[in-house]
Amino acid sequence: MELALSLGAPAEVYDVVIIGGGPAGLSAALYAARAKLRTLVVDKHPRAGALAMTELIANYPGVDEELSGAELLARFRRQAEKFGAEVVEAQVLATQLTSDPKQVITSEGTYQGRTIIIAAGALGRSGSIPGEKEFIGRGVSYCAACDAAFFQGKDVAVIGDSREMPDELELIVRFARRVYLLPRKRLDEEVRAQVTGHASVELLERAQVKRIVGEGAVTGVEVVDEGEAKVIPVAGVFVYLSGSRPTTDFLDGSVEITAQGCIAADPRTGATNQPGVFAVGDVTCNEVRQAVVAAGQGALAALAADKYLRRAKRMRQQWS
Amino acid sequence: MLMLIKEKDRAVIREMFEALVRPVKLVVFTQGPVHLPGERPCEYCEQVVQLAKELGELTDKLDVEIVNFHTDKERVKEYGIQRIPAIAVVGDVDYGIRYYGIPGGFEFATLLEAIIDVSRGSADLADETLEKLSRIDSPVHIQVFVTPTCPYCPSAVRLAHQFAMVNEHITADMVEAQEFPELSRRYGVYGVPRTVINEETHIEGAVPESIAVLYVLQAAGKLNETEAQQLAAISR
């Protein structure tokens, strides 16, 4: 039998750990790597994020052929990796930004960085489903790897259609008897084929979720399906929703957040109130959400991180 | 026999164990070679024993003692062990750090960290946390329910064990929820990490040190007015 053992924090410390693999994060990675900084990008998924979902991008300077957002991102990434940046695919769960080195706790383990650039984008959700908060830990879960086994042989609901939902569902179907899948919007064909490939999954695309109900623990999900209100009896509910709010749920409370929920950052450098922590791109609520703006901010933050690490007075130019 | 710890990992752990200062003992509670009638089979006992022995081979500062849970009543009582498999991580003194069930997957890292902390005899906590914990003068029992595949769980386990290190009244258990279904049922564990403090107080998910300590104070009845308000604001 094989026993998976995680050793925890790797001993190595990066100069820069970048959270997010969109245009801001990967541009920061390019400039950081070119400044000879040990650079790591933690990216949730190459197809997650606002740019990755863009079918055609026509306003990125210098790119005049027909290119999808995902293809443009793949180029960003190749270029950053060419200069030595590392990219890991992992979900950031928590951060410790006041320690030295700072820590980024992810689904794949903990990474340490002397500086952190937050470029996590703005696909976070706002609000919650009625009953959701009440039943957290009593049947409501966000982590199939953690909790799916508790629902062995039981019926569960999966609410939402975020990018991680299909992968999470793969884990849930190993345990649950029946899975009611309740996406907010119509699934694209590829995802639909993947999820309906499981005999135990029942896709309810028309049903609208009203609330999570229970007594002490979850007992069901109230939905309206074709005008008819009903309760689907389930023992567990896994929630995978996304929205358009800055993604800041992994922060440790040490970084200033504005009343709008954005990270407060100096627009010239991305510097936050926390020394050595920078924020760029949509997570700072730019007035315009454009790849080219995010990329420019990423470059500035990398040079600012370099300046911080050198304790220098000025940023170093990269001429070529 | 097939090793549980891979060769590559053994090298990394050897290096980590260079930080060990004073000797540490893993007291491992397991079943005997012969099963008595009515005795519950212990699915992971053998592996926990093997894991502890393999760790012991990586440094001369780590001793491993194997105790038969069913026959060595004295040792069981001394360490207050309730069920098996169990590991007590013991240094110059017994800080009350326990593992119930196998510390596999993500939890393995917390075992390595606990060994290092116990060897140093200190835990890396904020001054403010230490001040708060110093007020606790009656028994506090923290049980952190986990699964080995839960990436959020180690931070909750680590905090609980660190709290146990700095105050003699606090004991802290990692409990692998799947191995002890009755216990999980008793405490209504449907998701992990779930931290149960003195039976009544509980925390869902992994929370920062500054918040976890408030729950511990609450369980011990030691919250001051400001802290009570802070906690109420969080729980809202």
Has residue A242 got a pLDDT over 90?
no
Are A37 and A16 in contact, with CB atoms under 8 Å apart?
Answer: yes
On average, the pLDDT of chain A sits at: 92
pLDDT of residue B147: 95
Average pLDDT of chain B, as a whole number: 93
Handedness of CA B181, B183, B184, B185 (dihedral sign): positive
B192 at the A interface (CB within 8 A)?
yes
Shortest CA distance from A4: residue in chain B: B105
Whole-angstrom Cα distance, residue A74 to residue A81? 10
Q: What angle do CA B87, B154, B76 make, to 5 degrees?
A: 15
Confidence of residue A1 (pLDDT cuts 50, 70, 90): very low
Decide if B194 touches A, using CB distance below 8 A. yes
pLDDT above 70 for A64: yes
Q: Domain segments of chain A: what residues?
A: 13-124+244-310, 140-239
Q: Answer whether A13-124+244-310 and A140-239 agree in fold.
A: yes
Q: Which residues, other chains included, contact B55 with Cβ-Cβ below 8 Å and sequence gap of 6+?
A: B5, B13, B26, B62, B64, B111, B115
Per-residue pLDDT at B233: 81
Lowest mean pLDDT among A113-122, A162-171, A291-300, B29-38: B29-38
Residue of B nearest to A106 (CA): B151
Residue in chain A closest to B206 (alpha carbons) equals A94
Distance CA A222, CA A154 (A): 18
- Give the percent of chain A with pLDDT over 70: 98
Handedness of CA B123, B234, B216, B223 (dihedral sign): positive
Regarding an ipTM greater than 0.90, the answer is no
Instruction: Give the three-state DSSP class for B75.
Output: helix
Contacts of A261 (CB under 8 A, 6+ apart): A126, A245, A246, A248, A285
pLDDT band with cut points at 50, 70 and 90 for residue B235: confident
Q: Determine the pLDDT at residue A127.
A: 75
B1-30 mean pLDDT: 93
Give the model's pLDDT for residue A10.
64
User: Looking at the predicted structure, is the pLDDT value of residue B150 above 70?
Assistant: yes
Q: Is A220 helix (H, G, I), strand (E, B) or coil?
A: strand
Closest approach of B101 to chain A, Cα-based (Å): 13
pLDDT, position A9 = 59
**DSSP bridge pairs for B175:** B100, B145
Residues from A contacting B (CB-CB < 8 Å) are: 1, 3-9, 11, 93-94, 105-108, 136-141, 143, 145-147, 149-150, 216-218, 235-236, 252-253
Mean pLDDT, to the nearest integer, of B146-171?
Answer: 94
Verify whether the Cβ–Cβ distance B104 to A147 is below 8 Å.
no
Q: Tally helices (H) and strands (E) across chain A.
A: 6, 15
Instruction: For residue B103, say if its preceding peptide bond is cis, omega within 30 degrees of 0.
Output: no
Contact present, B92 and B50 (Cβ < 8 Å): no
Q: Which residues on neighbouring strands pair with residue A111, listed in sequence order? A: A104
Mean pLDDT in residue range A2-25 = 85
Q: Where are the beta strands (DSSP E) in B69-169?
A: 86-90, 97-100, 140-146
Confidence of residue B236 (pLDDT cuts 50, 70, 90): low
Q: Read off the pLDDT of each residue in A81-105 and give the average, rounded to a whole number.
A: 90
Q: What is the pLDDT of residues A253-296, one digit of tens each?
A: 889 999 889 999 999 999 999 999 999 999 999 888 899 999 99
Q: What is the pLDDT of residue A11?
A: 63
CA distance A104 to A251: 10
Token pair, residue B127, equals 């001054």
Q: Angle at the Cα of A269 (from A265 to A271), degrees rounded to 5?
A: 40
Q: Is B44 helix (H, G, I), strand (E, B) or coil?
A: coil
Write the single-letter amino acid at B52: A
Superfamily of domain A13-124+244-310: FAD/NAD(P)-binding domain (3.50.50.60)
Bridge partners of residue B202, in order along the sequence: B196
Check if B196 contacts A (Cβ < 8 Å): no
Q: CA B85, CA A243: separation in Å to the nearest integer? A: 44
For residue B56, the surrounding DSSP H or E stretch is helix B45-56
CB-count exposure of residue A35 (10 Å: 0-12, 13-18, 19+): buried
Rounded CA-CA distance A17/A104 in Å is 8
Angle of helix B225-235 relative to helix B209-219, nearest 10 degrees, comes to 110
Q: How confident is the model at residue A49 (pLDDT cuts 50, 70, 90)?
A: confident
The partner residue sitting opposite A147, judged by closest CB among B47, B113, B191, is B191
Confidence of residue A110 (pLDDT cuts 50, 70, 90): confident
Alpha-helix residue ranges (DSSP H) falling in B58-152: 73-79, 107-120, 127-133
Placement of tokens 């500035």 in the chain:
A300
Q: How does pLDDT run across B55-74, given as a tens digit for each residue?
A: 999 999 999 999 999 999 99
The predicted model gives B177-181 an average pLDDT of 94
Facing residue for B190 by CB, picked from A93, A150, A252: A150
Q: What is the pLDDT of residue B35?
A: 74
Max mean pLDDT among A131-140, A229-238, B118-127 falls in A229-238
A-B contacts at Cβ under 8 angstroms: 103
Report the 10 Å Cβ neighbour count for A175. Answer: 19
> How far apart (Å, rounded) are the C-alpha atoms in residues B5 and B11?
10
Residues sharing a CB contact under 8 Å with residue B127, sequence separation 6 or more, in sequence order = none
Q: Is the dihedral of CA A68, A70, A74, A75 positive or negative?
A: positive
Residue A234 has a pLDDT of 98
Please indicate if any CB of chain A lies within 8 Å of the CB of B158: no
SS3 content of chain A, % helix, strand, coil (to 5): 25, 30, 50
Domain layout of chain B by residue ranges: 1-121, 123-236
pLDDT level of residue A62 (50, 70, 90 thresholds): very high
Collect all residues with Cβ–Cβ distance below 8 Å to A65 and sequence separation of at least 6.
none
Task: Kindly tell me if the per-residue pLDDT of A44 is higher than 70.
Answer: yes
Query: DSSP letter at B36?
Result: P
Contact B17, B59 (CB under 8 A): yes
**Model pLDDT for residues B93-126, shown as the tens digit of each residue:** 999 999 999 999 989 999 999 999 999 999 989 8
- CATH number listed for the domain at residues B1-121: 3.40.30.10
10 Å CB burial of residue A317 (0-12, 13-18, 19+) is exposed
> With 70 as the cut, is the pLDDT of residue A23 above it?
yes
Confidence of residue A51 (pLDDT cuts 50, 70, 90): confident
Neighbours of B199 (CB within 10 A): 11
- Contact yes or no for A277/A102 (Cβ under 8 A): yes
CATH number of A140-239: 3.50.50.60
Angle between helices B107-120 and B153-166 (to 10 degrees): 20
Query: Rounded CA gap, A239 and A261, in Å?
Result: 21
Which tokens sit at A285?
């609520």
Amino acid at A137: G
CA distance A207 to A226: 7
**Fold match, B1-121 / B123-236:** yes
Q: Which fold has domain B123-236?
A: Glutaredoxin (3.40.30)
Alpha helices in chain A (DSSP H): 23-34, 69-82, 144-147, 165-172, 189-196, 291-310
